[in-house]
Structure 1
Amino acid sequence: MKTTVLGRAGLLVLLAGQLLPMIDFSIVNVALEAMAHTLHATPLQLELIVAVYGIAFAVCLAMGGRAGDNFGRRRVFTLGVLLFALASLLCGMANSVWLMLLARGLQGIGAALVVPQVLATLHVCLQGRAHARAIGLYGGIGGLAFIVGQVLGGFLIGADIGGYGWRSVFLINIPICLVVLLLVQRYVPETRNTQRVSIDLAGTSLLAASIASLMIALSLGPLLHWSWPCLLLLLLFPLLLQRLWRVEQQLEARHGAPLLSPALLRLPSVNFAIGIALLFFSSWSGFMFAVALTLQSGIGLTAFQSGNAFIALGVAYFLGSLLTTRMAERYGRLTMLLSGCAIQMSGLVWLMLTFHFAWGNIAIVTLIPSTALIGFGQSFIVSCFYRIGLAEVPKCQAGSGSAMLSTVQQAALGLGPMLSGSIFSQVLLHKANYQQAIIAALLAEWLIMLLLVVRALLVRRQLLPQPGNR
């Protein structure tokens, strides 16, 4: 029996499918030290294991959204979950760094097929308050999964179920994928656009090349002392982005279907949401990577203890997410965004002071006040990203719009460990001091969040009159 409407059961299936890719962004962080011993991985290779998933995810997201628009969102969602399960099995069986990198790339492709179908299906099938609640859950679960990944990964490695150690953080995906595959056909309606549009291969190639140039430069820069090849790749990044923009404009002028639609990018709400993604999500993933590495390699906590250190952040994030729908309706999205930034930035300052004054006595309890503030503020910011970004997107472009927003978001998440990792590694190389390295990385995040606040204040007058602001 096939459903024709998206009910509560269908919503849960979609959110379960969304949970898997989001968890795998962070679950690997607490497994890094164990993986390094088993796979004989260098610090650079560990950064790549974290980043390659996000980069593959980001580059293929827009194609995943387009495929769902053309061939059916439920069908593509099912294919993505199946590929994700097979890639997770390959990750769990990997016996070398290069096989792990291949498997993580395949995981990213599977995730890119899954995620845009979730947001597009919600956008098409739901309206009014039901739509607002679903988007709030989407944003809340997406962010909470990042924290759950850290905690769950630490538990699985500490429990060492079946003697699989760090491999269990990947193998746990397989039974969850099977349950989703069993339920999706029954409870999730099939939706697609009435007209098919072609896939923008030129735009996809340029996007991949631009992200790869930045990722390679940031990963190799500290190790090669920023020699001329690294600087050349950094210079190449904006040139490739400029070329990508021109190609997309030309395709739009020919009435084609560009990967990153210039028409959508011209919408004030979409433009601002992309700024949120670039600034916030890159600093967020970098924060999780740098703090997890510091807690284990710098302070000497176990993977289980490191994962538990994020419980307060996760609980605070979840509680904050429950308030976002009512807060957005009452105070407006921009006010909620600025409030979230203020709360999170206060938590970052507290965490820096904690690392500075209590370095020799850091424990899970010591981190609770600062990480709880950070998580509570983050829940407001993540919720605002989706609410603002989709406010002006027409329903007929739901797949393209959600995929474009998710592309930028996942690219930022993928590059975050490289950005923060570059600062972290640079300080660590020169000072050989984890305390100074983590404080420098956290200070960089605080400054990035300050840029987001300034950007929000500058566009406040432009966006407030828009009917979709709330």
Structure 2
Amino acid sequence: MQNDTPRLGRSGLYILLAGQLLPLIDFSIINVALDPIAKALGANQAQLELVVAVYGVAFAVCLAMGSRLGDRLGRRRVFGWGVALFGIASLLCGLSSSVPLMLAARMLQGVGAALIVPQILAMIHVTLKGREHSRALALYGGVGGLAFVIGQVLGGLLVTLNIGGLGWRNVFFINLPICVIVLWNMRKALPETLAPRASRIDWPGTILLSLVILCLLVPLSVGPVHHWPWESIVPLLFVPVFGWALWRVEQRQERRALQDEASRAPLEPAAVLLNHVGAKLSPFPMPLLPPSLLRVGSVRFALLLGILFFCCWSGFMFAMALFLQVGVGMSALQSGNSFIALGTAYFASAMLTARMVERFGKLPTLLCACALQIVGLVALIFTLVHTWPHLTLWAMVPASILIGFAQAFIVSNFFRIGLSEIPMHLAGGGSAMLSTLQQAAFALGATLLGGVFAQALHSSNGQYLHAIVATLIAETILVAILLACTVRYLRQAPTTTGAASSGPVVTPME
């Protein structure tokens, strides 16, 4: 990196962290507003699942695009575009009078989030070094845990206070002052950085990935509610077709991009270009999902880990929010407060992950976290069954602490394991792949476990306890599968289990 590389000051870091809060809070804040949204817009459960999922789908599909736009056009500039788009989309969400309008606005929110998030870690990575860099990344991880708690509690509080008679709409309007503050201060606080050579956007891969996710997402949302009509089954048949096309396109994109790179002279030593219209473009885009990375064992295992765990996480949040508000009859504030113990345990655990991995290794730590997650889920099922119908917030605290504590270890090891065997020159593509899968799994989780919840509710003639227990059992089975896969991978890769193998973590989207 050149000596004149700009340095990110403390005020700039705070601006980035404020921008980080926007997409993270919006992932969780909407869960406690689902019941009033359903009543106001006349939404059924399938539509509620889509309201949650379409945000994650847009986020996932556009994440790599957002990273490459920042590399090419300037990270501060694209960060500002993302914040502005997120604010406009939040306003449209709050003004929505129908489900289609809400879905369109949520999709725009996801696109805005995909423009924001990659720039945060990229700017931290290129403008800070040493202790300042480590401290900034620790704050980044801590804010992620706090955003989870803030979203749940703040959402419940805003719905309950009913400020200005706006009710659930305030969970979206609260984003507007944050966006204004960030946009007002970002030009002075944030330096502009670009990549020395940026890759073009992989539009064919982006479009095909969108088709794969949508053909899977929409039928799984609508099918259980409408008893699987043929219109819900046909799109599922296209999933393998689009998946195969995606694989072939990404192979071709990667082969052409690598051939182009091999034919070029070495780059100049500059790592960041300043005061430049844009970064130098490679004629061929790097693939959205590089196929060569799938030959790396740790990447394949991390993809399996991400699909199973993040589907479980988002599905758990969606189903529990519906159960507590509609089934138990809790207010939005009570529902939000029920997640405080889980989120606090997550934050505390996140502060311990690096030390535990350094001492025991990635895979043993992950193994223990999966086992603890299963114990927490079983404890929650036991609590719900034996306190029904007089469930209280305090009764759920012990199980919630176990679940939250385990989740932080699983999340941190997802990126540690996935990036542990990837060469540094492919770290950007690898982290983009993992982050894309993470957001896609978040979107699919509400649909998959939401479908289990809806099917169980229908088969039990509206018994919400039966529905949530069936959902939690399904989640426990998925985590048990993950535990078994971890044991198998641990036996196959014994050299990666020791403390010395924990290694440095390449943060997502660096």
Could you say which residue in structure 2 is the equivalent of 1:97?
99
Q: How does 1:358-437 map to 2 (within 5 A)?
A: 358-393=387-422, 396-397=425-426, 399-431=428-460, 432-437=462-467
Q: Shift in Å at residue 173 of structure 1?
A: 0.7
Cα distance in 2 for partners of 1:132, 1:237 equals 41
Cα distance in 1 for partners of 2:130, 2:423 equals 15
Could you say which residue in structure 2 is the equivalent of 1:320?
349
Cα distance in 1 for partners of 2:182, 2:142 equals 20
Q: Shift in Å at residue 249 of structure 1?
A: 0.6
Cα distance in 2 for partners of 1:369, 1:253 equals 52
Letter of the 1:316 partner, please give it.
A
Aligned with 2:469 (options 439, 443, 450): 439
5+ residue gaps, structure 2: 258-283, 504-510
Q: Shift in Å at residue 64 of structure 1?
A: 0.9
**Matched residue pairs, number?**
469
Could you say which residue in structure 1 is the equivalent of 2:263?
none
Does the 8 Å contact 1:290/1:421 carry over to 2? yes
SS at match of 2:495: coil
Deviations 1:264-306 (A, max 9, x none): 3333333332222211111100000000100011011111111
Cα distance in 2 for partners of 1:275, 1:141 equals 26
Letter of the 1:166 partner, please give it.
W
Q: Shift in Å at residue 74 of structure 1?
A: 2.2
Cα distance in 2 for partners of 1:385, 1:133 equals 21
Cα distance in 1 for partners of 2:121, 2:415 equals 9
Is residue 502 of structure 2 the alignment partner of residue 469 of structure 1? Answer: yes
Letter of the 2:502 partner, please give it.
N
Is residue 303 of structure 2 the alignment partner of residue 301 of structure 1? Answer: no
Aligned with 1:201 (options 203, 218, 226): 203
Letter of the 1:160 partner, please give it.
N
Q: Shift in Å at residue 343 of structure 1?
A: 1.8
Cα distance in 2 for partners of 1:416, 1:106 equals 20
Query: Structure 1 residues 391-400 or 427-436, which shifts more?
Result: 391-400
Assess, with a 3 A threshold, how the Cα gap between structure 1 residues 303 and 164 changes in structure 2: closer, same or farther: same
Cα distance in 1 for partners of 2:229, 2:203 equals 32
Cα distance in 1 for partners of 2:448, 2:142 equals 25
Letter of the 1:46 partner, please give it.
L
Assess, with a 3 A threshold, how the Cα gap between structure 1 residues 161 and 353 changes in structure 2: closer, same or farther: same
Q: Shift in Å at residue 41 of structure 1?
A: 1.8
Q: Shift in Å at residue 68 of structure 1?
A: 1.6
Does the 8 Å contact 2:361/2:501 carry over to 1? no
Query: Structure 1 residues 411-420 or 192-201, which shifts more?
Result: 192-201
Does the 8 Å contact 2:145/2:350 carry over to 1? no
Is residue 371 of structure 2 the alignment partner of residue 345 of structure 1? Answer: no
Letter of the 2:235 partner, please give it.
L
Letter of the 1:438 partner, please give it.
I
Is residue 481 of structure 2 the alignment partner of residue 451 of structure 1? Answer: yes
Deviations 1:59-92 (A, max 9, x none): 1111111212222222211211111011111111
5+ residue gaps, structure 1: none
Aligned with 1:153 (options 143, 146, 155): 155
Q: Shift in Å at residue 462 of structure 1?
A: 5.3
Q: Shift in Å at residue 137 of structure 1?
A: 4.2
Cα distance in 1 for partners of 2:14, 2:300 equals 30
Q: Shift in Å at residue 46 of structure 1?
A: 1.5
Query: Structure 1 residues 35-44 or 243-252, which shifts more?
Result: 35-44
Could you say which residue in structure 1 is the equivalent of 2:184?
182
Could you say which residue in structure 2 is the equivalent of 1:24?
26
Does the 8 Å contact 2:60/2:439 carry over to 1? yes
Is residue 275 of structure 2 the alignment partner of residue 245 of structure 1? Answer: no
Structure label with greater radius of gyration: 2
Letter of the 1:84 partner, please give it.
F
TM-score (norm 1): 0.93
Cα distance in 2 for partners of 1:324, 1:81 equals 31
Aligned with 1:287 (options 316, 322, 327): 316
Cα distance in 2 for partners of 1:12, 1:340 equals 31
Could you say which residue in structure 2 is the equivalent of 1:262?
291
Could you say which residue in structure 2 is the equivalent of 1:225?
227
Does the 8 Å contact 1:285/1:417 carry over to 2? yes
Q: Shift in Å at residue 337 of structure 1?
A: 1.8
Higher helix share: 1
Query: Structure 1 residues 225-234 or 403-412, which shifts more?
Result: 225-234
Does the 8 Å contact 1:320/1:379 carry over to 2? yes
Cα distance in 2 for partners of 1:155, 1:272 equals 40
Does the 8 Å contact 1:66/1:400 carry over to 2? no
Assess, with a 3 A threshold, how the Cα gap between structure 1 residues 280 and 138 changes in structure 2: closer, same or farther: farther
Letter of the 1:469 partner, please give it.
S
SS at match of 1:193: coil
Q: Shift in Å at residue 207 of structure 1?
A: 0.3
Letter of the 1:49 partner, please give it.
V
SS at match of 1:465: helix
Q: How does 1:116-195 map to 2 (within 5 A)?
A: 116-126=118-128, 131=133, 134-195=136-197
TM-score (norm 2): 0.86
RMSD across aligned positions (CA): 2.2
Q: Shift in Å at residue 348 of structure 1?
A: 0.6
SS at match of 1:254: helix
Q: Shift in Å at residue 53 of structure 1?
A: 0.9
Deviations 1:29-61 (A, max 9, x none): 111111122212222221211111111111111
Q: Shift in Å at residue 205 of structure 1?
A: 0.8
Query: Structure 1 residues 279-288 or 341-350, which shifts more?
Result: 341-350
Cα distance in 1 for partners of 2:361, 2:181 equals 38
Cα distance in 1 for partners of 2:397, 2:411 equals 21
Cα distance in 2 for partners of 1:301, 1:435 equals 14
